[in-house]
Chain A
């Protein structure tokens, strides 16, 4: 095996073991402090209180990853890791607050956008965006907005998908595996390291979180996973120059992103009633459950769709931008068709009732 491959295996295995060892400790602390998710509203699908804080080991494992690489393979250290750790720390603090005190979206969303926009000024500043149809576009200061929207969007997409046991962790794992395959082909060590970290962390977490879950990652874990995923896909080195290239990550994360986009549209519809920031029970996974699927079936169905999109992204990573963009449009159309079909089936069910 060549050195980076050994490093990837070591990082993946190390992260897996750290998370596997730390989750029970944080679970115990959550039980001790009574930081639990109680099935109090109709949105929650679990039947009993489940402890939070299961996502905090992700952050600790990330710090260990940075230190480990620095001390054992310093030639692979990436300058973006430290800013990610600093911003990730703030994200985790925000998530912990939300898990315990239930932070309103009205406060949370602007904070997230502010935080993610801050990335632009510390190691993630790129004012070139790759056009989906091919070519590059100089966007200047507008890049701050793109950076903030993209990273905050992914954070929320992962958070929204954290509605069923093992769903968020599994989707992140599949997305990370797909991006790893693409980054590995392109020889991008930084991306590969972050993706194997995500794979190791989420696989270990799934040992506790797959149905029936004994611990939840909470907002702290989901936001942090989303943050790492979003920030790491934000910058692609285009022949040594940092550019924002989002087509492939969008395809890989089509399932959580589509769910977020639909949620946004639903919220827009009820914004006139002043309920934009109110959560609902119409996410994709909720609707699959309503169709009669069990939790495990719904989760596996979404895993399957996500894996197909990841495979598609991997195949398309080698073709020209125009084909990639057209395929992305086609995938979006298929997802839209799937959602419409889902609605049709729901209405048929209601009609029968």
Chain B
């Protein structure tokens, strides 16, 4: 019994390695057996957990019957606005089975859009044809009335996608179609979502997502851009009747909690009924306490996405664009976001706009 005492029993070096190896293997074997039993019990549970995690909704949907799979895919797409083709392809297939051909067509177009963007360089002609095919489904949007603002957002989008100035010459409706394919939201009847408030003029908010040289944020009220290419949550407040900008500020929530406090004060002092336009450049959530999130929800914004398992308004480095009204019920505003990585940066460019409103149109 002296195999672990080299000093006391140095006269028995030859038997020691074999015997101590046997002990190692015996204890390892016992532990491995315990761990195997644990895995037998827990692995199926863990696998199911991993599959039901919101981020894994596409894989999870594969394991479900069609009706359930359709629900999971719809929810996943609504929550994450994923910038790749697989979820759209799968959902469009399921929609076709139920005869929902209009929806299936739009989903296929989105799948095609992300499929084309995967190619490097993306074929512009194919992209233009795709945009053209989607145009009729946009309805009677008078995008041309706001061509200047739209072209600025399109220029940023084109830079982010690596198209340079190629999209500049496109018709405003075609530019809008491209944004639609990218999961942006807009109102074509002049009303701000379900807030019951009509915009005094066309409004456009663009968030380019993760920071690089090409992306940024735009808040366009008329011809004036009230956002700059600087990190943070950009907020512009408008008078609901005249459409004049009453206040505009930027809050760098990446930097410190002090900015969150300043933002809460800004949101609190905003008068009831005013219109708020929100755009994130790079990040607008690193230091956003729940109380500030609730301040944003006073503008009709909702926790429609998820971070981990928690429903959230937005997460770290999400692109985020929204138009809301102070005092509107939660979840009634126009809101677009993207949490996923796209072209090397987190947050895929999104746009949120109100067309066919009063003012210039």
Q: Which chain A residues have a beta carbon within 8 Å of chain B's beta carbons?
A: 29, 33-36, 38, 40-41, 49, 53, 56, 59-60, 63, 66-67, 70, 77, 79, 82, 85, 89, 92-93, 96-97, 100-101, 128, 134-136, 237-242, 320
CA distance A320 to B20 in the complex (A): 53
Given A34-B1, A92-B31, also A79-B287 (CB < 8 A): no
Distance (Å) between the CB of A22 and the closest chain B CB? 11
- Pairwise interchain contact A136-B287, C-beta atoms closer than 8 A: yes
Q: Tell me whether B28 and A93 are in contact (CB under 8 A).
A: yes
Q: Which chain B residue shows the least CB distance to A322?
A: B256
**Contact B310 A240, beta carbon cutoff 8 Å:** yes
Report which of B38, B53, B255 forms a contact with A85, defined as CB distance below 8 A: B38
B222 to chain A, nearest CB (A): 35
For B28, list chain A residues within 8 Å (CB): 93, 96-97
Question: In the complex, A237 Cα to B286 Cα: how many Å?
Answer: 11
Residues on B with beta carbons closer than 8 Å to the beta carbon of A79? 49-50, 53
Residues of B206-230 whose CB lies within 8 A of A = none
> Which residues of B approach A to under 8 Å, CB–CB?
1-8, 20-21, 23-24, 26-28, 31, 34-35, 38, 41-42, 45-46, 49-50, 53, 254-257, 285-290, 307-308, 310, 312, 315-316
Q: In the complex the two chains form, is A240's CB within 8 Å of B21's CB?
A: no
Residue in A closest to B306 when the chains form the complex, CB atoms: A240
| B5, B6, B26, B315: the one within 8 Å of A241 (CB) | B315
Residues of A within 8 A of B21 (CB): 101
Contact partner of A35 among B23, B49, B307, B308, CB < 8 A?
B23
- CB < 8 Å: which of B35, B256, B289 contacts A135? B256
**Residues A239 and B285 in contact, CB atoms below 8 Å apart:** yes
Please give me the residue from chain B that is nearest to A135 by CB atom. B255
A residues near B286, Cβ cutoff 8 Å: 128, 136, 238-239, 241
Which listed residue (B4, B27, B285, B312) contacts A36, Cβ 8 A? Answer: B4
- 3 closest A-B pairs by beta carbon, nearest first, are A240-B307, A241-B316, A40-B7
Q: Are B4 and A38 in contact (CB-based, < 8 A)?
A: yes
Which residues of chain B are within 8 angstroms of A242 by Cβ–Cβ distance? 308
Contact residues in A for B31 (Cβ distance below 8 Å): 56, 59, 89, 92-93, 96
- Assuming the A-B contacts A38-B8, A63-B35, A240-B310, are A70 and B315 also in contact, with contact meaning beta carbons closer than 8 angstroms in the complex? no
Bound state CA distance, A240 and B286, in angstroms?
9
CA distance A237 to B312 in the complex (A): 13
A67's partner among B8, B41, B255 (CB-CB below 8 A) is B41
| Residue contact A66 to B312, C-beta cutoff 8 Å | no
Looking at the complex, which one of B26, B285, B287, B289 makes contact with A33 (CB distance below 8 Å)?
B26
Shortest distance between the CB of B340 and any CB in chain A (Å): 14
Check if A70 sits within 8 Å of B42, measured CB to CB: yes
Q: Can you add 4 more A-B contacts, CB < 8 Å, to A29-B27, A134-B257, A240-B312?
A: A56-B27, A63-B34, A63-B38, A136-B287
Instruction: Provide 14 A-B residue pairs closer than 8 Å at the C-beta atoms, listed in order of the A residue.
Output: A29-B27, A33-B23, A40-B7, A66-B38, A67-B42, A85-B35, A96-B24, A100-B20, A100-B23, A136-B254, A239-B285, A239-B290, A241-B286, A320-B257
Chain A residue contacts of B2, Cβ below 8 A: 34
- CB closest residue in chain B, given A93: B28
Given A70-B42, A97-B24, A240 and B308 touching (CB < 8 A)?
Answer: yes
Of the candidates A33, A35, A93, A134, which one forms a contact with B256 in the assembled complex, judged by CB atoms under 8 Å apart?
A134
Q: A82–B42 contact, CB under 8 A?
A: yes
> Contacts A100-B20, A239-B287; is A53 near B254 (CB within 8 Å)?
no
- Report the nearest A residue to B35, measured CB to CB: A89
For A134, list chain B residues within 8 Å (CB): 255-257
- Which residues of the partner chain B approach A70 to less than 8 Å between Cβ atoms? 42, 45
- Chain B residues within an 8 Å CB radius of A135: 254-256
The answer to whether A239 and B4 touch across the interface, beta carbons within 8 angstroms, is no
Residue of A nearest to B283 (CB): A136
The answer to whether A60 touches B307 (Cβ under 8 A) is: no
Residues of A within 8 A of B308 (CB): 237, 240, 242
Complex CA gap A56/B27 in Å reads 10
User: How long is the Cα–Cα vector from A49 to B28 in the complex, in angstroms?
Assistant: 22
Complex Cα distance, B308 from A96, in Å, reads 36
**Which residues on the B side are within 8 Å of A93 (C-beta)?**
28, 31
Q: Would A38 and B5 be within 8 Å (CB), given that A33-B23, A96-B28, A100-B23 are in contact?
A: yes
- Rounded to whole Å, the gap between the CB of A133 and the closest CB of chain B is 10
Report the minimal beta-carbon distance from B142 to chain A, rounded to whole angstroms: 39
Chain A contacts of B307 at CB under 8 A?
A: 239-241
Given A63-B34, A79-B49, A241-B285, also A40-B23 (CB < 8 A): no
Bound form: Cα–Cα A237–B307 in Å: 10
* A238: B residues at CB distance < 8 A: 286-287, 316
- B256: A residues at CB distance < 8 A: 134-135
B255-A240 in contact (CB<8A): no
Given known pairs A63-B38, A240-B308, A241-B307, the reply for A100 and B287 (CB within 8 Å) is no
CB-CB under 8 A from A34, the residues of chain B are: 1-4, 23
Complex-state Cα separation, A174 to B285, whole angstroms = 34
Chain A residues with CB under 8 Å of B50's CB are 79
Cβ of B7 and Cβ of A100 under 8 Å apart?
no
Distance of A93 Cα from B24 Cα, bound (Å): 9
Q: Which of B3, B20, B289 contacts A239 (CB 8 A)?
A: B289
Which of A29, A60, A97, A320 has a CB less than 8 Å from the CB of B34? A60
Contacting residues, chain A, for B41 (C-beta < 8 A):
67
Distance A70 CA – B49 CA, assembled complex (angstroms):
10
Give the distance in Å from the alpha carbon of A38 to the alpha carbon of B256 in the complex. Answer: 54
A100 with B34, Cβ < 8 A, contacts A34-B4, A77-B49, A241-B316 known: no
Residues of B within 8 A of A89 (CB): 31, 35
**Given A66-B42, A128-B316, CB of A96 within 8 Å of CB of B4:** no
Provide the residues of chain B in CB contact with A36, threshold 8 Å. Answer: 4
How far does the alpha carbon of A59 sit from the alpha carbon of B1 in the complex, in Å? 27
List residues of chain A with CB within 8 A of the CB of B35. Answer: 63, 85, 89
Q: How far is the CA of A239 from the CA of B307 in the complex (A)?
A: 9
In angstroms, Cα B42 to Cα A82, docked, is 9
Contact yes or no, A100 B315, CB < 8 A: no
Residues of chain A within 8 A of B34, CB atoms compared: 60, 63
Tell me the complex Cα distance, A59–B23, Å: 19
Instruction: Tell me how far the C-beta of B270 lies from the nearest C-beta in chain A, rounded to whole angstroms.
Output: 22
**Which residue of the partner chain A has the closest CB to B286?**
A136
The docked-state distance in angstroms from the alpha carbon of A108 to that of B5 is: 21
Q: How far is the CB of B156 from chain A (nearest CB, A)?
A: 21
CA A93 – CA B3 in complex, angstroms? 19
Given A96-B28, A241-B285, check contact A35 B4 (CB 8 Å): yes
